[in-house]
């Protein structure tokens, strides 16, 4: 007789185990040997094998044995070729996806980590002696000591926490409000429950003690060296901060009236109140000999060559503030505007009200979400966001959820075709979109699409915002010999510009549009490399004592989230949307930290073959 599975059956218990294992996979530490990781994944597939076909049943066991010998350093130089042929055979002859996908997984690893395999076979160890690193510090582009400042917050030393953040990042307040918190991606707390709310704790610290009341590190003696920084965004201001602390004189040039770059002119007030941003700016400007020259555009008001003559080094941090348009019919129609331009006009108070307007927006990144939510606050009648595929929603998930709560509507699987304009006014009257269907994934694991057989879709709108990327204004630098490619300055990972003595560059103008913390990291790297170029090796002493790490009982505990004002209330204006953490929430959340700076990271097994 057929019956339902009893509650708590074996399958239910296995589901629970798989859910917990997924958390463990998500918290794999950076620096893990990739061959060890892929072998773990292979063993999962081996456990799924039904045993009916020989390639899967016996072949995967043989592949596992080969990987073990490679990791142990006992494989000869023919091992990689044998492993490749074995996996190719399994992928071609297995009966089902278990064997096929497992073999393909190892083939992918052989391609992506060819240097790692070669090092294990020839040198009998990982490339550069790979070792596990502290996940949150490693994943933070600026490598801020996250466990350290969380421990200081736990001890209620909020000023100390801010000082420790400033050791690598002079924008503790701005990042507390808008950082994408990549530091949380591999948090080992996820093994137990959920990652630490690192940004939330940082925000609690700067809410408790204002950053401009916390002293900067002591400045080194003056070196007599002069550095010109072009651009007062997060990258340029970060470089200026560290260079000033080292004892150099810094002059910052920016075409805007106030410093901050896209932090000031690209991020809406409801996400980053400018009063709070100014606290970081004030602290940076007080770090040493820093002069800010506003309303100065290099190439218009002063030549780049003149700056090079007057300076011992130059740092180009011009950002990527020009919004892209699309090469389609009607792109120059009235009421069509790039998202970056739209946000800058709003921040300067130059954007007209959108009352009664039906707004369409193309794009799914963070800038798109900022523009969509800003349009809601500009009284737009409706705001619709369109993307071609689900992978195009690259914005932080919280931003997408917040936009939905505030009434923004989302449509996907629609590719942009062209713009229809009103014959009398010349303004946009509608956009045409082509329905898409999903296809295969590409080599990077991204979904592809192809045109559906459905007819193109006409969407009536009064205003169109294009959130399809940004570019840098590099023309004046190109004419003076600065090497560029596709509106990006060519500089290496040390921020050194090719074939230009004493010229450095970093941030969005090198990488393309990215995040504030990536720009801050570039400014930090540039500052220390400029210092080395000038013949120094300065160190900056933060003078902060980090509390001793104590054992954590690892009791599963809920994650404290940053609460927000009601969507119907917050969309009525530009007031800050996030509410402060309570003392109890901050203490409990900081107590969840496992202190990976002292426990569980950086210790390698005795040998590569150890189990």
Listed range (68-72, 297-301, 328-332, 461-465) with the worst mean pLDDT: 328-332
Residue 217 zone, left/alpha/beta (φ > 0; ψ -120 to 50; rest): beta
Read off the pLDDT band of 608 (50, 70, 90).
very low
Let me know: does 439 contact 421? Beta carbons within 8 Å: no
Q: SS3 of 266, please?
A: coil
Task: Please name which of 492, 539, 522 lies closest in space to residue 231, comparing C-alpha atoms.
Answer: 522
Let me know: does 206 contact 562? Beta carbons within 8 Å: no
User: Could you read off the pLDDT of 158-206 as tens digits, one per residue?
Assistant: 999 999 999 999 999 999 999 999 999 999 999 999 999 999 999 999 9
d(CA 297, CA 263) in angstroms, rounded, equals 19
pLDDT, the chain, mean = 92
Residue with tokens 């780049």: 304
Residue 443 makes CB contacts below 8 A (sequence gap 6+) with none
Cβ density class 236-245: b for 16+ within 10 Å, e for less: bbbbbbbbbb
Read off the pLDDT band of 4 (50, 70, 90).
low
Biggest CA-to-CA distance, the chain: 91
Section 58-84 average pLDDT: 94
- pLDDT surpasses 70 at 603: no
> What pLDDT score was predicted for residue 531?
98
Residue 487 makes CB contacts below 8 A (sequence gap 6+) with 320, 471, 472, 474
The fraction of the chain above a pLDDT of 70, given in percent, is 95
Let me know: does 153 contact 586? Beta carbons within 8 Å: yes
Q: List beta partners, residue 460.
A: 430
- What's the distance, CA 483 to chain centroid? 26
DSSP 8-state symbol, 16: H
Question: Which pair of structure tokens corresponds to residue 461?
Answer: 């709108």
> What pLDDT score was predicted for residue 285?
98
d(CA 265, CA 322) in angstroms, rounded, equals 12
User: Could you read off the pLDDT of 18-46 as tens digits, one per residue?
Assistant: 666 777 777 777 878 889 889 999 998 89
Question: Which pair of structure tokens corresponds to residue 447?
Answer: 């979904």
Q: How far is CA 95 from CA 88, 90, 414, 422, 458, in A?
A: 14, 9, 37, 59, 46
DSSP 8-state symbol, 455: P
Kindly calculate the radius of gyration of the chain based on its CA atoms and give it in whole angstroms. 27
H/E stretch holding 255:
none
- pLDDT surpasses 90 at 15: no
User: Could you read off the pLDDT of 468-495 as tens digits, one per residue?
Assistant: 999 999 999 999 999 999 999 999 999 9
- 3-class SS letters over 519-549: HHHHHHHHHHHHHHHCCCCCCCCCCCCCCCC
> What pLDDT score was predicted for residue 6?
63
d(CA 217, CA 538) in angstroms, rounded, equals 13
User: Could you read off the pLDDT of 483-536 as tens digits, one per residue?
Assistant: 999 999 999 999 999 889 999 999 999 999 999 999 999 999 999 999 999 999
Q: What pTM value is reported for the model?
A: 0.92
Q: SS3 of 459, please?
A: strand
Cite the DSSP H helix spans in 441-497: 475-478
Residue 402 makes CB contacts below 8 A (sequence gap 6+) with 369, 373, 564, 567, 577
- pLDDT surpasses 70 at 81: yes
Q: List beta partners, residue 496.
A: 504
d(CA 498, CA 500) in angstroms, rounded, equals 6
Section 127-136 average pLDDT: 79
CB neighbourhood size of 258 (10 A): 15
d(CA 80, CA 162) in angstroms, rounded, equals 50
Question: Which pair of structure tokens corresponds to residue 556?
Answer: 């599963």
DSSP 8-state symbol, 123: T
- pLDDT surpasses 50 at 609: no
User: Could you read off the pLDDT of 429-443 as tens digits, one per residue?
Assistant: 999 999 999 999 887
d(CA 522, CA 167) in angstroms, rounded, equals 14
Q: Count how many residues are written for the chain.
A: 611
Question: Which pair of structure tokens corresponds to residue 119?
Answer: 């090092």
Section 374-401 average pLDDT: 95
> What pLDDT score was predicted for residue 607?
37
Supply the DSSP string of 310-355, one letter for each residue. Answer: H-SEEEE-----EEP--SSTTTTSBTEEEHHHHHHHHHTT-PPP-B
């Amino acid at each position: 007789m057929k019956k339902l599975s009893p509650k708590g059956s074996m399958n239910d218990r296995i589901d629970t185990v798989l859910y917990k294992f997924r958390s463990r996979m998500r918290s794999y530490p950076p620096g893990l040997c990739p061959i060890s990781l892929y072998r773990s994944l292979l063993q999962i597939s081996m456990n799924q094998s039904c045993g009916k076909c020989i390639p899967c049943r016996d072949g995967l066991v043989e592949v596992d044995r080969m990987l073990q010998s490679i990791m142990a350093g006992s494989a000869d130089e023919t091992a990689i070729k044998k492993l490749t042929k074995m996996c190719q055979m399994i992928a071609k002859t297995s009966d089902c996806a278990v064997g096929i996908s497992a073999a393909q997984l190892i083939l992918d690893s052989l391609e992506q980590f060819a240097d790692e395999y070669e090092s294990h076979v020839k040198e009998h160890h990982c490339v550069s002696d790979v070792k596990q690193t502290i996940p949150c510090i490693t994943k933070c582009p600026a490598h801020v000591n996250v466990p350290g400042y969380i421990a200081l917050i736990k001890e209620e030393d909020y000023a100390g926490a801010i000082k420790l953040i400033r050791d690598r990042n002079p924008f503790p307040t701005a990042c507390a409000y808008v950082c994408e918190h990549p530091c949380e991606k591999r948090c080992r707390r996820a093994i137990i429950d959920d990652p630490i709310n690192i940004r939330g704790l940082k925000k609690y610290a700067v809410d408790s003690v204002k950053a401009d009341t916390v002293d900067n590190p002591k400045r080194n003696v003056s070196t007599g060296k002069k550095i010109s920084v072009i651009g007062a965004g997060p990258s340029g201001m970060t470089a200026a901060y560290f260079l000033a602390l080292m004892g150099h004189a810094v002059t910052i040039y920016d075409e805007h009236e106030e410093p901050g770059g896209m932090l000031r002119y690209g991020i809406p007030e409801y996400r980053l109140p400018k009063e709070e941003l100014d606290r970081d700016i004030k602290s940076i400007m007080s770090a040493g000999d820093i002069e800010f020259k506003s309303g100065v555009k290099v190439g218009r008001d002063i030549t780049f060559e003149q700056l090079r003559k007057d300076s011992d080094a130059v740092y180009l941090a011009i950002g990527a503030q020009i919004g892209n348009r699309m090469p389609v019919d009607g792109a120059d129609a009235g009421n069509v505007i790039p998202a970056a331009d739209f946000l800058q006009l709003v921040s300067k108070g130059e954007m007209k009200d959108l009352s009664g307007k039906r707004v369409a927006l193309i794009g799914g990144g963070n800038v798109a979400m900022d523009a969509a939510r800003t349009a809601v606050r500009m009284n737009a009648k409706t705001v619709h966001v369109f993307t071609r595929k689900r992978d195009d929603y690259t914005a932080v998930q919280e931003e997408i959820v917040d936009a939905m709560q505030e009434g923004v509507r989302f449509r996907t699987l629609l590719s942009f075709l062209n713009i229809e304009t009103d014959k009398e006014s010349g303004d946009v009257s509608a956009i045409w979109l082509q329905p898409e269907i999903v296809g295969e994934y590409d080599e990077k694991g991204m979904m592809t699409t192809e045109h559906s057989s459905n007819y193109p879709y006409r969407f009536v709108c009064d205003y169109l915002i294009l959130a399809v990327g940004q570019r840098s204004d590099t023309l004046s630098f190109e004419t003076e010999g600065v090497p560029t490619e596709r509106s990006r300055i060519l500089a290496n990972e040390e921020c050194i510009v090719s074939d230009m003595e004493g010229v450095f560059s970093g941030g969005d103008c090198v990488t393309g549009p990215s995040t504030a913390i990536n720009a801050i990291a570039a400014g930090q790297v540039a500052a220390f490399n400029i210092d080395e170029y000038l013949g120094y090796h300065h160190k900056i002493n933060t003078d902060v004592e980090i509390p001793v790490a104590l054992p954590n009982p690892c009791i599963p505990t809920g994650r404290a989230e940053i609460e927000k004002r009601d969507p119907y209330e917050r969309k009525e204006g530009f007031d800050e949307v996030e509410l402060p953490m309570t003392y109890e929430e901050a203490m409990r959340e900081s107590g969840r930290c496992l202190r990976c700076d002292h426990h569980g990271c950086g210790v390698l097994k005795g040998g590569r073959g150890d189990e």
